[in-house]
Structure 1
Amino acid sequence: MDNSQPREECDEVGQGDSHIDKFQLQREILTVCSTVFIDKIQPVELCVHLSDIIGKAEEDKIKAATDEKGPRKGAELLLSFVLESTDPGWFTVFVNGLRETGSETALGILEDFKALSDFSQHVDGMKYDLNSVRFEDLHEKHLRVFRPHIIEYLEPIQLLPHLIQRGVLSDSTVDRIRAETRNKGRFYGSLMLLRHLPTLKNTWYTDFLYSLWDSGNQKDKELVQLIDPDFNPDWKQYQTSQKRTVTKEIAGDTIDAVPPKWRKYGSADEGRNITGAEVEQVSLKLSDLNITDELSLRNYQHELAEPALRGQNCIIVAPTGSGKTRVAAHIVAEHLKQGADRKVVFMACKVPLVEQQYQLFCQLFEKYELRVLKVCGDDESNKFLHQLISEFDIIVLTPQILENHLLENTISSLDVFSLLIFDECHHTQKGNPYNAIMSRYIRQKHRDKMVKLPQIVGMTASLGVGDAKTDYEAESHILHLCANLDSRCIATVERYRDELDQYVNTPNEEFQPLPNRQEDPFRVKIIAIMKRIESIIKQSPICYDLLSSGNKALTKAPNERDSQQYHQWATQLGKIAPTVSQNPELTRTIVTCTDYLQGYNVALGVNRNARTSDAVEYLVQKLSPYSTRQHIQTALEKELFQMFEDVRPEISRLAEDRRYQNPRLLQLQQRIEDNTRAPHSRGIIFVTTLAIVQALYDWLTELDLAEIVRPEKFTGARASEEQGGMTQHEQENILAKFRTGECRLLIATTVAEEGLDIPECNFVILYNHIGNEISTVQTRGRNRAKDATSYVMAEDRFQLKAALNCQKEKMMNKAVAVMKRKLEREDVSQQIMTFQREEIKKMDIEAIKRQKKLAKKSSEEFHLVCRKCQTFAVSTASLRKIKESHHVVLDEDFQNKIQLKDPKKVIHIDGMELQKKIVCAECPSLEWGTLALYEGEMYYVIAIKAFNVKTVDGQYYKPCQFKHWIDAPFKVEPLDAMVECGKPQNI
């Protein structure tokens, strides 16, 4: 970069240390603003327009950084070069570059800061004191982003002495916070503390951070680092640096969540900005709510919104990538304008979708001071939802949370809301929380004609056809969905179809058959072990027990030992064995055998789709618990483990033998390389199991290709950490990396199929994985880039299923069009009413069954024994329940029956901190539950699925295994914390 030319002499803006010249002010503006928009610019494209201030060598460095470490790193390097420039016109060149590359977000932020249009008019001759800039409003807004995290960890009583010492709170406020904490708990005390922080001192923000830091609590220090990563315990250094970092948020996704409004970044005069110009007031009236211009809705999006804006219950059906969530935001805005009593709930089935929609609403509605609440399973606000409803205008949550509050009657009725939006509404079918909520809605509607129920809006890319084989059945399926959602309108794009086609890319689709290894000695050896174990089962008395109890089908294993059908057979056999045999030793034998068979079944699947070494590693991890505590193993358990130990050296050698490399991986590698040559390309590989996700990730990270694509795993939150599940926070971080380019390839299970806004994705690979017609549409929709391609890399047997999905998709599109016309032109209300009455009858019958089941629950004592080794664990008399769902053990002797293991990460859910895993002391391969901290006490929380139920005289209850506590035959009393808070001793 040639910066040797003399710098143009600048006009002096002020005098003394408190004033800065024009060029210094420009640099200050860019430094502060860039922390917000750094993820919104394309560094390589922008370089082309900055040749006047950035040389060829610097441009090459920026391109290299972008290719190797992602766009964010490239952007950081570009900005550093820009800020180093001494060219007098550098600021104008940079702004023009942003405009040429279409970086509207960056331009908007700079414009809000009045760094463009007003700069030349007001800067000359104006005295500007950087120290006079008021940060209070920004600090308050900044802290609001982190409020859920602060409330979850803050201990208000412990923090108050430090805040008092710094003079942040008045004596009366301190007394109120203490009373609120004592009477209502830490959550409400924290809320009150945060509300009163900004009321007394202008320096409240830094005082709050220093109070947290000085408290001596490690979690408080972690909170400080979360709130402000640039925090420096040295007061003077931090006071100087905070002017540059006040707007900096953590991890790009938080920046997106609540972007700062620079109009409130004012000077000492209330109504003026840093250039002296009048500032637009941010506190807008609800009647002024108009986000249409900000959304820039297209004509087809307006068409989709029309029925909802008329107040109709409707289902919006439009392709993935068409902007349905922006349509939803428009509907919400118009709905809220109609009255102060309006209350909106937006529901999404998966946590990443909740987070995504929450961020969009925060961006759009913040300046109107509409209050948006996000509630997920592990949020502290979950248990207080019913008390928070009145404080918020828009609530974004998963449907199960709302259903739980309705079940517990903490939310008495759906009529407290005025609009319910169901994202991915095709899930509104039996067994789904969406359907449970709508069942309540329909019942209330039919039984109280005068009740004012909320408007219903459903959104989906694909309604599906269920099990339909004919056009009539497909139409009936869709009509049932309309009945379930109480909707008599389907909104699709018709008038502006050509415009829709312009914006929604239809990816190319290719089917590529996957080859098998010519020789697969690993498979041969593992199947040989499986046959030996099957022989042990056949020769045991369990076969006679199965025959005599009518379970003949379980006496014979399926032939395809690497199939899902085989895994289901082994799982079912392990469950049914205790119910047909009263012999604990025999039950232990069968359960152990089926556990081994399930492990070998998964290993075969890993070997088929990944490396043999990955399959070996899976088996080592799966079976290693059986190698511990040898003195308590049965002879059979030792024999089963020895089978694996005998073959382990040989299969480990096979894993290193290049003759047995998997040709599927060579094809997959080639496909990835072909699609990631462009520096900004991104893709997703969909697979069937968590084990294969891990295997492909391990394989990719060992290739040179990993430095280019920087792969990450993306899995669901329901699976345990051992199985490869992810927490909500981990999912959010991975998606943020993917959007910014820090990660360019996701290896995912079906959790990424629906709804996630990943506009950069330009190729999708279905790797030996074919879902139904709905998932086919959804996964295709992940491809949003122009000229994107969807690859189906699968065995020949999947080709027929792919073709069938294609036909079902055509049948669905036809049925949607037919039903839309019928709903518009014919009176199908009678059919919908009939469907709804049938649904109410089914609900009544299920409610009666549920009441009978509850009535049948015995007050008698039962024993829970380990599902695997049949060792006595606990008497039901020692159980208590928390929140109707978490069951804890109060028996002091329980600690002698367990081992505690450290988890990979501590999880928070329903106000509990899950700190340790509980496993059986006799067979440590089976997890019984968790050791959890709840309201200051430690409790053993157990899962019913880990146990068999026996009567006190030793007889197995039939059935003896239960997946859910509600199905168990005994009553469990709620925990009385005041009476029993000391009982789990010596934990």
Structure 2
Amino acid sequence: MSLNEQTTYFNHPLLRRNILRFREYQKMIANSAMTKNTMVILPTALGKTIISLLVCINTLYNNREKRILILAPTRPLVNQHRNSFVSCLKLLDDQIAMVTGKIPPQARTIVWNKKAIRLVFSTPELVKNDIIEKRLSLKDFFLIVFDEAHRAVKDYAYTFIAEKYMQHCTHPLILGLTASPGSEKNKIQEICNNLFIEHLEYKTEEDADVKQYINAIDVKWKWFDLPPEYHYVKSILKTMLKEKLDWLVSRNIIKKDSRWIFKRDLITTGEQLRYSLNVRLEKERPSLYFALIQQSIALSLMHCIELMESQGFYSLWNFLNRTQLEESRSHKLLLSDHRIKEVKGLIEQLKIEHPKIEYLIKILNERFDSQFNLNGNSNLTDSASEKKSRVLVFTQYRDTAQHIVELLNKSKIKASRFVGQSEKQGDPGMKQEEQNSILEYFKEGDFNVLVATSIAEEGLDIPEVDLVVFYEPVPTEIRHIQRRGRTGRKNIGSVIILAAKDTIDQRYLDVSRKKIQKMKSVLSSTNTYLNFKPVNRLIVKPDPMTKYEIDSLNSLLDKFEERTKIQSLSSSKNKTLHHKIVYSSEDHTMVQFKRQVERTARKIYSVVTIHGNKGLKIETLHNILGVNGELTDAALKMLEKLKKIKIIGRKVIISDNVAKIRGQIYNIEIEKVVMGEALVLVNGEWRARLHHYDYGGPRELIRKGREFKAIGELYHDDHNLNIRVKQIL
């Protein structure tokens, strides 16, 4: 990778000037990833996306006919990657596409098969489905990038895609990106196996070549004692839970001391009981079913305790209300217990918040009050106004996120919720456009606090925050690292982890600490224990873009940007224009598709017009046009909808030509042929005579059992129904 004269920025024919600041470790990692399947493990904010971009531009430049596929787990993340690449690369809009479920299958097929589109961004599930449906072949993709590569385990779509890619591409190249692949050696090995990794690049925050780019992050733990009222409710729930666990142990369903039964044990027991229900004799099923009910109630009670300890009365109340709406017998039995009714009554009467929420409001008020004087005016200068404190609060549950936002706003702290797109337990989630707007408003300072669920942990380009709050610890090292990585990107950051003493919080915090230490130890010695298998690939001779192609590309980009600048200056709605640029990735793909369909439709109309009343077979049309079949079909549908053509059988005829012949279109089936005439069934309803003087078409059609469409007219003669055929269709 070459540098410009100042050695400050990366320099490349396909990279915009002075856009990416040079970092030696990024260059070295990118260079090593250009020849073999590589997994890059880098702490958040050290530029995994930039490394993938450097590998991509080199691949595109040196392989002018090849394409690249970039995958990310969610649509918002795909959209973000697409926007990042567009802002840095010298590529035309028509050479880049974003393919998601919002784009219909017909349009996706055209994108997958259009080799002029060199860079495609998509989600793994969609790619997997399109491979299965034979809309997509991976053989023409020179490189596939798997973002958040730690997901490549078990039956996740990444595994399927990598396997198909290695089967069908003669020169495969894979790049996996993650901040944390996990702490277990066998899991890291599984990821490497599933992505056919040959080489691993790992950097820690302590490495000499990255240390200068790391900002210190001050991590604090804040411990809380639960109020007496919480302990009382907990004692009720614990008593109920012990009864259920003792019952399961006494019947030898769980072979452990009830004091050491955890959620995982109950989940495993439930799976075993369900399996037994399917294979046991009918007479044994009632007892198994009753045992399953006891297991389910125990699991619900354990969840109730964890919710109350970690989240508070509000979340427990919501959970109990939701279970009331469900039809399961276990939930009905649980709610019918007088002790649960007592718990609900206490929660409603006491309305005591978890000490975490009180502390959160207190520290945020102190933080934001320091930015304002007694008159309510900002103490910040105009130049510093953009650096106003932004806080990201992570919580596991949508209920808690909503509750925190409501209480913060009541306390005059501007906050907004940020959750995923899917519907969960009656919560509709957020549409992608809504998510984008929330992040934009957060960036612009319309509110100071973003309260987010796990959607904000993985990769999303959330504006720089100077404080991250874990409302509860998380039990996995991956999620802990992802949450922590949301701060300290450009300046010194802070993390505060809130935890209730002697609760699930404490267990989760201990687990994540141990896993992080274990992961560091495991990754530091990866090359000694990981089994990398070399990939047999065809060596492709570089076919670099010519100077003429680069100059032409630069000229086209200059013209486009000049036109965009003029439009921007003439528009008084610059903010609207910005939103349009940021959010129109999928729309742009659809616009490209519609343009192609319109061009094809014009060609079809021109070709079919030449053939006049006879029309043209669809198969012949496909051969004449020489374009993708899906594109031809879409164009035909468009012309038919506009009433420009008629499709009769497998023939395409210009509508005006059909209209010139007076009569209607009939389906004619030959039932019997006699001297000088045939007896026919018209439209499956009426029997009529077809005389030899009323028919001038091919003789081979007048045979028993033959069927055809024709323009004609019905008439009566001596009380008999007859049909006159004017044109065979």
TM-score normalised per structure 1 = 0.45
The separation in 1 between residues aligned to 2:304 and 2:106, in whole angstroms, is 41
What is the DSSP-based 3-state SS (H/G/I as helix, E as strand, rest coil) of the residue aligned with 2:498?
strand
1:712 is aligned to 417
The separation in 1 between residues aligned to 2:204 and 2:223, in whole angstroms, is 37
1:60 is aligned to none
2:359 alignment partner, one of 649, 662, 667: 667
Matches within 5 A, 1:400-799: 400-412=125-137, 414-443=138-167, 452-467=170-185, 481-482=191-192, 484-491=194-201, 500-519=210-229, 520-528=231-239, 552-554=252-254, 558-559=258-259, 563=263, 565-566=265-266, 569=269, 573=273, 577=277, 579-580=279-280, 582=282, 596-625=297-326, 641-643=335-337, 647-648=340-341, 651-657=344-350, 661-673=353-365, 676=368, 680-688=388-396, 690=397, 693-703=398-408, 707-715=412-420, 717=421, 720-722=424-426, 726-783=430-487, 784-794=489-499, 795-799=505-509
1:390 is aligned to 113
Matching of residue 346 in structure 1 with residue 46 in structure 2: no
Matching of residue 334 in structure 1 with residue 58 in structure 2: yes
The separation in 1 between residues aligned to 2:458 and 2:498, in whole angstroms, is 20
Task: Look up the equivalent residue of 1:291 and give its one-letter code.
Answer: R
The separation in 2 between residues aligned to 1:674 and 1:575, in whole angstroms, is 55
Distance 1:719 1:384, change over 3 A: same
Aligned 8 A contact 1:710 1:742 in 2: no
Distance 1:615 1:501, change over 3 A: same
What is the DSSP-based 3-state SS (H/G/I as helix, E as strand, rest coil) of the residue aligned with 1:553?
coil
Deviation at 1:581, TM superposition (A): 6.3
Task: Between 563-572 and 752-761, report the one with greater CA deviation.
Answer: 563-572
1:325 is aligned to 49
Deviation at 1:312, TM superposition (A): 4.0
The separation in 1 between residues aligned to 2:183 and 2:110, in whole angstroms, is 40
1:846 is aligned to none
The separation in 2 between residues aligned to 1:381 and 1:759, in whole angstroms, is 32
The separation in 1 between residues aligned to 2:50 and 2:26, in whole angstroms, is 8
1:372 is aligned to 96
Deviation at 1:382, TM superposition (A): 5.2
Distance 1:569 1:743, change over 3 A: farther
Structure 2 stretches of 5 or more lacking a match?
1-11, 372-387, 500-504, 537-636, 638-729
Task: Look up the equivalent residue of 2:143 and give its one-letter code.
Answer: L
Task: Look up the equivalent residue of 2:358 and give its one-letter code.
Answer: L
The separation in 2 between residues aligned to 1:747 and 1:566, in whole angstroms, is 31
Structure 1 stretches of 5 or more lacking a match?
1-286, 445-450, 469-476, 627-632, 823-827, 837-934, 936-987
Deviation at 1:320, TM superposition (A): 1.0
Greater per-residue strand proportion: 2
Distance 1:523 1:676, change over 3 A: same
The separation in 2 between residues aligned to 1:463 and 1:577, in whole angstroms, is 37
Deviation at 1:570, TM superposition (A): 5.5
The CA deviation string for residues 48-71 of structure 1, in whole angstroms up to 9 with x for no partner, is xxxxxxxxxxxxxxxxxxxxxxxx
The separation in 1 between residues aligned to 2:458 and 2:215, in whole angstroms, is 17
Identity over aligned pairs, percent: 20
Matching of residue 289 in structure 1 with residue 14 in structure 2: yes
Deviation at 1:484, TM superposition (A): 4.3
Deviation at 1:782, TM superposition (A): 1.3
Distance 1:494 1:511, change over 3 A: closer
The separation in 1 between residues aligned to 2:274 and 2:205, in whole angstroms, is 57
Aligned 8 A contact 1:299 1:496 in 2: no
The CA deviation string for residues 644-695 of structure 1, in whole angstroms up to 9 with x for no partner, is 6x7536633444426x55334333444444555566323333344x3xx313
Aligned 8 A contact 1:305 1:331 in 2: yes
Deviation at 1:603, TM superposition (A): 2.8
Distance 1:365 1:810, change over 3 A: closer
The separation in 2 between residues aligned to 1:798 and 1:730, in whole angstroms, is 32
Distance 1:699 1:720, change over 3 A: closer
The separation in 1 between residues aligned to 2:205 and 2:313, in whole angstroms, is 55
The separation in 2 between residues aligned to 1:370 and 1:388, in whole angstroms, is 10
Distance 1:462 1:742, change over 3 A: same
Task: Look up the equivalent residue of 1:582 and give its one-letter code.
Answer: E
Distance 1:486 1:734, change over 3 A: same
Matching of residue 804 in structure 1 with residue 528 in structure 2: no
The separation in 1 between residues aligned to 2:204 and 2:179, in whole angstroms, is 15
Deviation at 1:388, TM superposition (A): 1.7
Distance 1:705 1:319, change over 3 A: farther
The separation in 1 between residues aligned to 2:107 and 2:497, in whole angstroms, is 45
Deviation at 1:589, TM superposition (A): 5.7
Deviation at 1:325, TM superposition (A): 1.4
The separation in 2 between residues aligned to 1:785 and 1:670, in whole angstroms, is 26
Deviation at 1:507, TM superposition (A): 1.2
Deviation at 1:797, TM superposition (A): 3.2
Task: Look up the equivalent residue of 2:32 and give its one-letter code.
Answer: P
Deviation at 1:718, TM superposition (A): 5.6
The separation in 2 between residues aligned to 1:803 and 1:398, in whole angstroms, is 32
Deviation at 1:346, TM superposition (A): 0.3
The separation in 2 between residues aligned to 1:560 and 1:705, in whole angstroms, is 42
Aligned 8 A contact 1:611 1:655 in 2: no
What is the DSSP-based 3-state SS (H/G/I as helix, E as strand, rest coil) of the residue aligned with 1:503?
coil
Aligned 8 A contact 2:224 2:356 in 1: yes
Matches within 5 A, 1:928-947: none
Matches within 5 A, 1:187-266: none
Aligned 8 A contact 2:468 2:496 in 1: yes
Aligned 8 A contact 1:511 1:791 in 2: yes
Matching of residue 358 in structure 1 with residue 66 in structure 2: no
How many residue pairs get aligned? The number is 501
What is the DSSP-based 3-state SS (H/G/I as helix, E as strand, rest coil) of the residue aligned with 2:212?
helix
Deviation at 1:804, TM superposition (A): 1.4
Deviation at 1:555, TM superposition (A): 8.3
Task: Look up the equivalent residue of 2:445 and give its one-letter code.
Answer: G
What is the DSSP-based 3-state SS (H/G/I as helix, E as strand, rest coil) of the residue aligned with 2:77?
helix
What is the DSSP-based 3-state SS (H/G/I as helix, E as strand, rest coil) of the residue aligned with 1:756?
coil
The separation in 2 between residues aligned to 1:785 and 1:402, in whole angstroms, is 35
Deviation at 1:622, TM superposition (A): 1.9
Task: Look up the equivalent residue of 2:214 and give its one-letter code.
Answer: V
The separation in 1 between residues aligned to 2:481 and 2:438, in whole angstroms, is 23
Task: Look up the equivalent residue of 1:607 and give its one-letter code.
Answer: M
Deviation at 1:619, TM superposition (A): 0.7
The separation in 1 between residues aligned to 2:237 and 2:183, in whole angstroms, is 40
TM-score normalised per structure 2 = 0.59
Aligned 8 A contact 2:391 2:467 in 1: yes
Aligned 8 A contact 2:422 2:429 in 1: yes
The CA deviation string for residues 425-461 of structure 1, in whole angstroms up to 9 with x for no partner, is 23334433222222334445xxxxxx63232222222
The CA deviation string for residues 58-117 of structure 1, in whole angstroms up to 9 with x for no partner, is xxxxxxxxxxxxxxxxxxxxxxxxxxxxxxxxxxxxxxxxxxxxxxxxxxxxxxxxxxxx
